[in-house]
């Protein structure tokens, strides 16, 4: 691995700081609320202009309600085998309400105690602008990029990215990349950077058991009319053993063994059992950090999140009983396949009970030991003052599969906003230091990925 002067970007940032902050404030003044449509077209155009001004060749696509702004810069000169990185971000923001809880106007950014307060400061304008400013600084210092850089900034993230998967499927050649790099979400509570290599998927279903055409009196019709609660409870009971193993045939098929590299990463994650107990409000939890993170990110869940029949104060035989289940899926599990298996289970054990799919999102996972991922981890470690928290996958669900499955590229999420960014809440903010550190981080990423990947195989 070649070495270079690691401080070369610091002078640029110091010199440019005031202008960078002014650029962020300008972007934050432009409303872009995808839930209502307010300012969306204007913001997309502002982002396109910004990209053009910083040297990107841009195209605007309209696959859904709001534009996707796309830009690219090819590697300069002799770098024919240069890797391609796709940066992803979103220019839409959440509605600002409740307005009365904001200390300052959500669309008139204010700086207080080293933080910029405005809707979108953290989620996601401050984060994708850091990428753009890193490119600007790189071009200023070196005249060209050592990698091919693509950037996709969409306007429907806060409404669930309804057009993204199809857009990516229809533009595989355009978006083709060796790495997809997303900066969204918050850093770790300790201030350390987070590197996220996957997410759990989700599948939710409704299971419906029907009895008579209407509720009947439990005395007058008791022992006469069947109660749909009993077959439902018995079905649910048979789906899971007492020690938590899911009894649906084939449920665990295809889930890979936890790799040594993942297990090692899990062991290094910060864990505080007492803090966890406080966070969840349950005293009985007994486990170590590795078990906690393994269960949270690399093992599927099988959860009942709703159960409804009858009421509280009437002696009736309910006409209908319903259960709502959600399954968090891990790498190797496909939501539609799991749904088919659930359907088969219901048909076999309770043929009179109906099942329907409410929603599903596939899981994603990028192997930690890919050379390009090793390089990202090393670069983030170099660029930030603290050792990053590397999570092989996270418990929640994001549409990261769009990159790993639809585009077929490794994907990594490295948040640039502070832990307390208050995204989606009143007084959303980002730290000026976090914003500038993001610029530094993307700058080093461009620099390091421009070097050969030899020597990253450990």
What kind and span of H or E run contains 42? helix 40-53
CB of 91 or CB of 167, closer to Zn ion: 91
Instruction: Tell me the torsion sign for CA atoms 446, 448, 450, 453.
Output: negative
What is the contact mask toward Zn ion in residues 392 to 431, using x (rule: CB under 5 A)? ----------------------------------------
Helical H segments across 164-207, by residue range: 164-170, 172-175
CB of 123 or CB of 156, closer to Zn ion: 123
> Which residue, among 76, 74, 9, 150, has the nearest Cα to 438 in the 3D structure?
9
CB of 123 or CB of 215, closer to Zn ion: 123
How many residues bind Zn ion (CB under 5 A)? The answer is 1
CB of 331 or CB of 423, closer to Zn ion: 423
What is the contact mask toward Zn ion in residues 106 to 135, using x (rule: CB under 5 A)? -----------------x------------
Closest CB to Zn ion belongs to which residue? 123
Chain length of the chain = 458
- Residue 189, phi then psi, degrees to nearest 5: -55, -30
Instruction: Give the shortest CB-423-to-Zn ion separation in angstroms.
Output: 5
Q: Which two tokens stand for residue 38?
A: 């307010």
Instruction: Give the shortest CB-363-to-Zn ion separation in angstroms.
Output: 20
Distance CA 412, CA 181 (A): 5
CB of 89 or CB of 388, closer to Zn ion: 89
> Which residue, among 433, 385, 402, has the nearest Cα to 201 in the 3D structure?
402
CB of 54 or CB of 123, closer to Zn ion: 123
> Does 434 interact with Zn ion (rule: CB under 5 A)?
no
CB of 118 or CB of 248, closer to Zn ion: 118
Q: Which two tokens stand for residue 241?
A: 């053993």
Instruction: Give the shortest CB-333-to-Zn ion separation in angstroms.
Output: 26
Instruction: Give the shortest CB-424-to-Zn ion separation in angstroms.
Output: 6
Instruction: Give the shortest CB-421-to-Zn ion separation in angstroms.
Output: 10
Burial pattern 287-296, b for ≥16 Cβ within 10 A else e, equals eebbebbbeb
> Which residue, among 40, 344, 43, has the nearest Cα to 205 in the 3D structure?
344
Instruction: Give the shortest CB-445-to-Zn ion separation in angstroms.
Output: 23
Instruction: Give the shortest CB-294-to-Zn ion separation in angstroms.
Output: 27
Assess contact for 45 and 91: CB atoms under 8 A. Answer: no
Q: Which residues bind Zn ion (CB under 5 A)?
A: 123
């Amino acid at each position: 691995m070649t070495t270079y002067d690691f401080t070369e970007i610091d002078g640029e940032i110091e010199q440019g700081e005031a202008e960078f902050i002014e650029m962020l404030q300008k972007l934050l003044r432009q409303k872009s609320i995808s839930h209502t449509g307010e300012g969306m077209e204007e913001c997309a155009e502002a982002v396109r202009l910004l990209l053009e001004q910083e040297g990107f060749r841009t195209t605007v696509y309209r696959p859904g309600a709001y534009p996707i702004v796309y830009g690219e810069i090819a590697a300069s000169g002799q770098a024919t085998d240069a890797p391609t990185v796709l940066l992803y971000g979103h220019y839409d923001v959440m509605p600002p309400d409740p307005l009365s809880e904001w200390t300052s106007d959500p669309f008139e950014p204010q700086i207080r105690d080293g933080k910029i307060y405005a809707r979108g400061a953290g989620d996601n304008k401050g984060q994708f602008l850091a990428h753009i400013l890193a490119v600007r600084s790189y071009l200023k210092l070196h005249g060209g990029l050592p990698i091919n850089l693509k950037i996709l900034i969409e306007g429907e993230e806060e409404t669930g990215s309804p057009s993204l998967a199809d857009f990516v499927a229809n533009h595989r050649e355009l978006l083709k990349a060796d790495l997809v790099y997303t900066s969204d979400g918050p850093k770790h509570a300790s201030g350390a950077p987070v590197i996220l290599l996957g997410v759990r998927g989700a599948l939710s279903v409704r299971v419906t058991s029907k009895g008579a055409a209407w509720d009947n009196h439990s005395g007058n019709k008791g022992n006469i009319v069947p109660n749909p609660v009993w077959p439902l409870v018995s079905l649910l009971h048979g789906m899971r053993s007492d020690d938590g193993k899911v009894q649906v045939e084939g449920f665990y098929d295809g889930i890979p063994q936890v790799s040594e590299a993942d297990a090692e990463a899990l062991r290094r994650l910060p864990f505080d059992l007492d803090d966890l107990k406080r966070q969840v409000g349950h005293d009985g939890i007994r486990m170590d950090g590795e078990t906690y993170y393994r269960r949270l990110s690399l093992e599927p869940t099988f959860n009942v999140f709703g159960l409804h029949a009858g009421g509280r104060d009437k002696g009736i035989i309910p006409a209908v009983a319903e259960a709502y289940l959600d399954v968090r899926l891990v790498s190797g599990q496909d939501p539609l396949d799991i749904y088919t298996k659930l359907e088969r289970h219901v048909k076999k054990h309770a043929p009179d009970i109906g099942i329907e799919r409410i929603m599903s999102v596939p899981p994603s996972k990028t192997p930690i030991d890919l050379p390009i991922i090793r390089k990202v981890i090393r670069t983030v470690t170099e660029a930030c003052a603290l050792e990053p928290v590397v999570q092989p996958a996270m418990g929640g669900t994001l549409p990261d599969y769009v990159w790993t499955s639809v585009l077929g590229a490794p994907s990594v999420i490295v948040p640039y906003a502070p832990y307390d960014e208050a995204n989606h809440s009143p007084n959303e903010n980002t730290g000026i230091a976090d914003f500038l550190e993001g610029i530094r981080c993307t700058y080093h990423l461009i620099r390091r990925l421009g070097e050969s990947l030899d020597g990253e195989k450990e």
